[in-house]
Copies of this chain bind each other. A is one copy, B any other.
Amino acid sequence: MKAHINRIKELDLSNYGNDFLLTWKKNKKELEATLLLAELLRKRHREGKPNLVFDSGLAVSIFRDNSTRTRFSFASAANALGLAVSDMDEEKSQVSHGETVRETANMISFMTRVIGIRDDMYLGEGHSYMREVSAAVQAGYEEGVLHNRPGLINLQCDIDHPTQSMSDLAMLKNYFGSLDNLKGKKIAMSWAYSPSYGKPLSVPQGIIGLLTRYGMDVTLAHPEGYNLIPEVVKLADKQAQVSGGSFKTTNSMDEAFSGAHIVYPKSWAPFQVMEERTSLLKQGDQSGLKDLEQSCLANNAKFTDWECTEDKMNLTNDGKALYMHCLPADITGVSCKQGEVSASVFDRYRKDTYMEASYKPFIIAAMMFLTGLKNPQTALDKLNT
C-alpha cells in the first residue's frame, strides 16, 4: 500500500479539480491516481482498516432516475470516508434550472463535501445540469458563501457514466494484470436486444470514451440506426489513434465478437429516438411518446438475434472472452423471455459481473477523496497505517 501512496503522490494532480463529470476531461495521470486510490481503499477495506478521512460532513445525492446499485455504492463510499448521506429527493423538493439551480446548489452545500448526481434520462439535459451545479457551487465558494467547495461526481448523465466505466477499467486492470496489458486487447462494445425501451446511452459511450485511451482495439457494434451521440463516437476514434489502439464501428455483432478478448453486450435506445423522446417530453406530448415507444419496441424486435449466446461467445478469442455488464442484464429465460444474454453465458460469468460491480463503491470513494478534500495528496498519509 505504501507503493500505491507513493505513486499517487508523484502524480501531478494540480488540475484534477473538484468535478468528475466526464472521463475524457481527465488526463491519464488523473485517471491513474483515481484507479490507484480505489485499489488502495479497497485493499484497506478488505484488511478491516478504516478509511475515515473526513471527520464529518454531508454527501448529498441527487437522483433524477431510479437506482439501486449506484445509490448503495454512493452511500457505501460516503460512509467509508466518514460522510453522512443526505438524499435530495426530487419529489420532496422540486429542482429545476437557472436561478433555482444556483440557489438550491448553494443552500444544500453549507456543510457538504460531495454532491453526486444521476440525471441520465434526457439527451442534452444531464450533463448541462451538472455543469450548472458545478458553476453554482464554485461561485458560492469563491464568494465565501461556502467554506468548502463540494466535490461533484457524475453518477450517470446523458453523455457519460464515469463511475461505471472506471469500475470496468479497474476490473480489466485486475483481470489482465495491468493497464499496459490492455494494449491490443479487443473489446466488443455491442448493442444487444432487450424487450424494454429507452435505455440510456451513457454506458456504451462511457466505455468507448474511456477504453480507446488505453491502446485497446475497440469495436462498437449495433444494428443500423442504433447510433450513439456522434461527438462521442468521433472522440473515441481520435483517442484510439493517439493511444495506438483502434476504433471500428460495425453493424454486425459477429464481426465485433470475432476474436474479442472482452465482450460488453448491452441494449440502448438509438440516439435519434432519445432526441425525439426528449423533445416530445418537453412538449408534454403523451400520445406522441406512446407512439414512439411502440415503434421503437417494434424496431427492436427485428434484432432479437443480437443476443450474447454460446454461439456468439464461440467466435471470441479461444471462445473465452470476458463477458462484462453493468447489471442488471436482461437474461433470456430468467429475467425476460428473450434478452441480451443467454442464461448459460450469464451464469458462467455471473461472479465476474458481481466482481465488476464490486469496484464501484471504491471508485466513487476515490473520486470523493480527490474532488472533495482540499489537499488529497496530503490526506493520503491518513491511509498509511
Contacts and interface: CB of A to CB of B under 8 A. Distances in A.
Interface of A: 45-46, 50-52, 55-58, 60, 66-69, 71-73, 75-77, 79-80, 82, 84-86, 88, 92-93, 98-100, 103-104, 106-108, 110-112, 140, 143-147, 327-328, 331, 334-335, 351, 354-355, 357-358, 360-361
A82 B51 CA distance: 14
A385 to B, nearest CB: 12
Contact of A354 (B52, B60, B106): B106
Given A66-B92, A327-B107, A72 B85 contact: no
Contact of A85 (B76, B86, B331): B86
A84 B79 contact: yes
Contacts of A50: 55-56
Given A50-B56, A100-B328, A68 B110 contact: no
Given A50-B55, A58-B75, A358-B145, A327 B103 contact: yes
A68 B108 contact: yes
Contacts of A103: 327-328, 354
A88 B87 CA distance: 13
A72 B361 contact: no
A184 B85 CA distance: 44
A58 B73 CA distance: 11
A111 B111 CA distance: 24
A310 to B, nearest CB: 18
A145 B351 contact: yes
Contact of A93 (B55, B71, B108): B71
B56 A80 contact: yes
A363 to B, nearest CB: 11
Contacts of A357: 106-107, 110
Nearest to A147: B46
A250 B100 CA distance: 32
